[in-house]
Amino acid sequence: MIEGFLSNNLNTYLFVGLFLLSCGILGVIYRRTLIAMLISIELIMNGAGLNFVAFNRFISPEGPDGMIFTLFIMGLAAAEAAIALAIIILIFRKYRSIESAEMEEMKD
């Protein structure tokens, strides 16, 4: 078994997950194109999954509950990426642009 101070500490993994969450929030607000925003949302989901597995490893090591939730997050992320990219391609065909600032009109 791997022994070590950093790799055997819960707060390290929580810090990495928190860093991914902050980077995702920064990307969702800052980036211009819709695809980059989708990539940032993937970062947030991965931080959540990492936190689930870390809590499962350190807090309740009896059952595989956190790992199953991470698998569910992966499946939902796949479904969300598929449907969001289809919508983005539609938006590009209609507006000839994938910038978020150009989608002003909702009707038409």
Tell me which residue has tokens 């791997």. Answer: 2
Q: Indicate whether 6 belongs to the interface with another protein (CB under 8 A).
A: yes
User: How open is the CA angle 11-77-74, to the nearest 5 degrees?
Assistant: 60
Report phi then psi at 99, rounded to 5: -80, 145
Q: Does 103 bind another protein (CB under 8 A)?
A: no
Do 32 and 100 meet the contact criterion of CB atoms below 8 Å apart?
yes
Q: Between 22 and 103, name the residue whose CB sits nearer to another protein.
A: 22
Question: 42 to 71, contacts with another protein by CB under 8 A?
Answer: 42-43, 46, 49-50, 53-54, 56-65, 67-68, 70-71
Q: Restricting to residues 14-33, which ones interact with another protein according to CB under 8 A?
A: 14-16, 18-27, 29-33
